[in-house]
Amino acid sequence: MKRKGVIGSEFLIIVSILSLLGSINIPSFINRQDKAKTVLSKTEIETNLKIALDLYELDNGSYPTTQQGLRALLKKPVVTPIPADWRGPYCNEEDFIRDPWGKPYNYSCPGKHNKTRYDLSSNGPDGQSGTNDDITNWKEGK
């Protein structure tokens, strides 16, 4: 007598095996996403935003103040000191001033760590400032 199809117990075994395989790969996938976002944030801080801020400084003689913030890269500031030679926007999209987790980058000028320049950082995957997953434009201990 030939059997057609899969019986209930075989189906449960197949579902259990697939679930086990899925539970192994999903955390790995999520971990890789956070690593990719960390690399992207580091690239934006050390390259893309650095270039935009340096261009702003070349045109205007100083970096945007803390109060002006990174929005000064998108629109001419209306908060003093109002730059006389603003030639922006210095970056293309407003999302550019948000980290890969959707949070605004932390910006201060003059910086606490970079006293003659600016501090720029992301709180990283956990969204909490001061933890070991923060991405910064300074080295700890300096």
The domain ranges of the chain are 39-136
**Full DSSP string of 76-136:** ---SSSPPTT----SSS-GGGGB-TTSPBPEEESS-SSSTTS-EEEE-TTTT-TTSTT-EE
Tens of pLDDT along the chain (142 residues) come to 555 655 667 767 777 777 766 666 566 556 677 789 999 999 999 999 999 999 999 999 999 999 999 999 999 999 999 999 999 899 887 767 889 999 999 999 999 999 999 999 999 988 888 888 899 999 865 4
Give pTM, 2 decimals. Answer: 0.74
Q: Does domain 39-136 have CATH number 2.40.37.10?
A: no
> In the block, which residue shows the tokens 């117990």?
9
Kindly state the tokens that stand for 17: 């095996």
